[in-house]
Amino acid sequence: MGVYIKGMGNISPQNSWGDAPLLANPIGYAGDRLKCIEPDYSQFVDVKQLRRMSRIIKMGVAAGSLALQEAGLKAPNGIITGTSYGCLEDTGIFLSKMIESNENALNPTPFIQSTHNTIGSQIALLLQCQGYNQTYTQRAFSFEHALIDALLDLKDNPDQFILAGGMDEITNYSHALQKRFGIFRRNSSSSLDLFKGHDRGTLNGEGAAYFVLSGIKGEDNTICLDSAETFFKPAKTTFQNKILSFLESAGLRADEIDMVMIGKSGDKTLDIESDKISSSLFSSSSVGVFKHLCGEYPTASAFALWLSISIMRDKKIPDVVVQKDCRRPLNNVLIYNSYFANYHSLILLRTC
């Protein structure tokens, strides 16, 4: 059973909020990290409350507020959040102060706000939403599990409205730690050139996106989220069959997919399997890429979902996204994300 997209909000390294046309002026970043373009948060939260909020909480609240505004809702029936790292900034502050003060006289606020469920809880407090509130922290499956939970909830209660989202942030601490593993490019002049050349490594990213989902179709609802599934370290010999089985369960063949949004990282070695799948299973489908726009992070599939829905609404793939354009009507869109070749996920969208 699919659910309908009622509204969405996205804070990302691109101009993904406001009235600007979709990726009319894509922004490239030099270096090895992409940072979100943030709005004036005072339009969503009282200034006095903003002082006590960390950056990712502000991003999450803004994304959730934008999604609810588009859906025309004051509050949802439930909030489901996916985040791999949680509130890294508050975690870093708490651990640093603990070391500096030799574990004496610590301010408890950074610790309280460092937990993963702080984002969803803060949104619920602001909206006075006392319904179901869940946070998933399954690394690169966090957002997908939030979507699966929303799909299951709405199957039983289709008349409800669920606010589901995914987010992760970059901090100086986390970036320095991740760089030690050699997973990021050293000399990148522009993130928009991520898929050009034969370089190793990817670019660090961040973002926050929320979606209002419901089982009841409205007059203006043209896109539905059909299904989602995750695969951890699948065998290469059987993974393509798993994708075909996923599509078959939705009543589709591979040649009926009009566009595949592929979460390639830019690392040529890690992207080998993604390229094989797009060329073999989806040879007649258009292919899009997105991580040169948002960077690589565990919940980047939330950005991909926002981008895919936006493309389906506009009925046109922006040039900066196109890897292959077969100029097909965008009725069935598959998001295939891969996180460092270990975590693989599928999200299916349809017009309705």
Q: Is the pTM of this model over 0.85?
A: yes
**Distances, alpha carbon 179 to alpha carbons 123, 201, 202, in Å:** 32, 10, 11
Q: For the segment 143-160, what is each residue's pLDDT rounded down to a tens digit? A: 999 999 999 999 999 999
Q: Distance (Å, rounded) from C-alpha 70 to C-alpha 63?
A: 11
**Distances, alpha carbon 37 to alpha carbons 12, 41, 84, 263, 291, in Å:** 6, 12, 21, 21, 16
User: Which pLDDT score, from 0 to 100, does residue 197 have?
Assistant: 77
Tokens of 16: 């993904």
Predicted confidence (pLDDT) at residue 38 exceeds the cutoff of 90: yes
Mean pLDDT of 162-185: 95
Q: For the segment 299-347, what is each residue's pLDDT rounded down to a tens digit? A: 999 999 999 999 999 999 999 999 999 999 999 999 999 999 999 999 9
Give the chain's domains with CATH numbers: 3-214 (3.40.47.10), 223-351 (3.40.47.10)
**181: confidence class by pLDDT, cuts 50, 70, 90:** very high
Q: Give the residue among 327, 333, 337, 329 at the shortest CA–CA distance from 350.
A: 333
Lowest-pLDDT range of 76-80, 115-119, 329-333: 115-119
The length of the chain in residues reads 352
Tokens of 135: 């946070």
Q: For the segment 167-178, what is each residue's pLDDT rounded down to a tens digit? A: 999 999 999 999
Mean pLDDT of 59-84: 97
Tokens of 344: 């693989």
User: Which pLDDT score, from 0 to 100, does residue 338 have?
Assistant: 97
